[in-house]
Every structure is written in structure tokens, then in C-alpha cells.
Amino acid sequence: MLDAAAVAQVRAVIDAGPWADGNATSGAQSALAKANEQLPEDCDAARAAGAIVLDALAASPLFVAAALPLKVFPPLFNRYAGGQAFGTHVDNAIRIRRGSDFRIRSDLSATLFLAHPGDYDGGELVIEGQFGEQRVKLPAGDLVVYPASSLHRVEPVTRGSRVASFFWVQSMVRDDAARRVLFELDEGVQAVAVRLGQGDPAAVKLTGVYHNLLRRWAEL
């Protein structure tokens, strides 16, 4: 999602920010499980770095195809060090931005890794899915998007510092299975168009099927 220069730019902005106890943004249940630091959501550093992240999301065809975003919560930033962790929890269904009328239903949760994985131990994002646990620890600049309905946790960070951006997406297509079908169809349509050409009747027909399914399932 972010190249090395953009990661460095975001880190320069947020590392100098006013980090505070992460429990400021938690629901009552998740506060019990959570130990980390966050940037206050309305501070200048979070706003400036968040704008860079939002621009990158909007410019990513892969993110748009996978998430079909209707609304994206302004990105937040967190940091784990010295054994800090976030125990198993589910994110709140509704997110309201403090001091505004911006609110979203969280269909998807997203974590954008902002530290080089070799610079810290632990800190895996563990997502409990239909087929078991997935342990996610990605290069700086890489993003993981997963159903917000998933139980998940962040393992203790035992060396160094795990820095990330996190946010939620309200998708035009609320149902995870329907969104997945659309994503896979989109990938197939793109592959067919590359082989046969955009104007090939089969590619045109499949593109039409994609849009007609999206028309049936999208809520705006």
C-alpha cells in the first residue's frame, strides 16, 4: 500500500506525535484486553499521516476491488513495545468519530504495518477465521484487510516496537461471501480481458455480469 518513501514519511510524522494510552478508544470489553499506545484521533500528526494513508487506499485498485469501500474511518495509529499486547476481541460494530457526526458500520478491519518485521519480535496479528488461525506479520507498507466480525488479537511485542495504522471500512457490499464472489469474479474478468482484449465479447459479457451482481448487492 505504501512504498518505502511513504512509510518513512508517515513514520516521521507519527513518531513525533503525542502518543497516549490506547484505551482511550476502546469499548469496555476490549479495554480489559488491551495494552498499547495510540495517537489521539484528532491530533495533527494522526490527521496528516491519516491523509497519506487514505490517498494511498484510494489509489489502490486492489484495495478498492477487495473492500468495495463506501466509507473509510480516518486511520488511527498504534504502537506496542515492552511486552504490550491486545488480547482476543471483536471490534465494535459501529464506530463514531469523536466530535463529529461521522459514523460507520465496521464491515472490514484493516491493519497497515509501519515497522520493518525484523525490527521487533512478536506482534503478530492473529485472526481466527473459518479455517483456523492466521498469523499476520507483514513488511512495512503492507496492508491486511479482514472481516471485522473475526475474533483477533495482537501477540505480545517482546523486542523493539510494532507501529501500525488501523481503521475500519464500511463496504458497499455488506456480506463477506458476496464481496468475495465479486472480488474473485473481478480477478477472473481482468485475466480474461488481458488474454482476449477488453473488447472481446466474452470479456464484455463477464464485465456486465460483474456490474449486474454489484448492482444487486451494493447498498449506498
Q: Which residues bind Ni ion (CB under 5 A)?
A: 91
Nearer CB in complex with Ni ion: 26/171: 26
Nearer CB in complex with Ni ion: 37/91: 91
Min dist. Cβ of residue 149 to Ni ion (A): 11
Q: How many residues does the chain have?
A: 220
Min dist. Cβ of residue 23 to Ni ion (A): 13
Strand order of the β-sheet with 132-136 is 86-89, 151-154, 125-129, 132-136
Min dist. Cβ of residue 73 to Ni ion (A): 12
Nearer CB in complex with Ni ion: 13/170: 170
Would you say 76 and 92 are in contact if contact means Cβ atoms under 8 Å apart?
no
Min dist. Cβ of residue 19 to Ni ion (A): 18
Q: Cα 215–216–217 angle (5° rounding)?
A: 95
β-sheet bridge partners, residue 89: 152
Amino acid type, 11: R
Nearer CB in complex with Ni ion: 91/155: 91
Rounded CA separation 207/65 (Å):
13
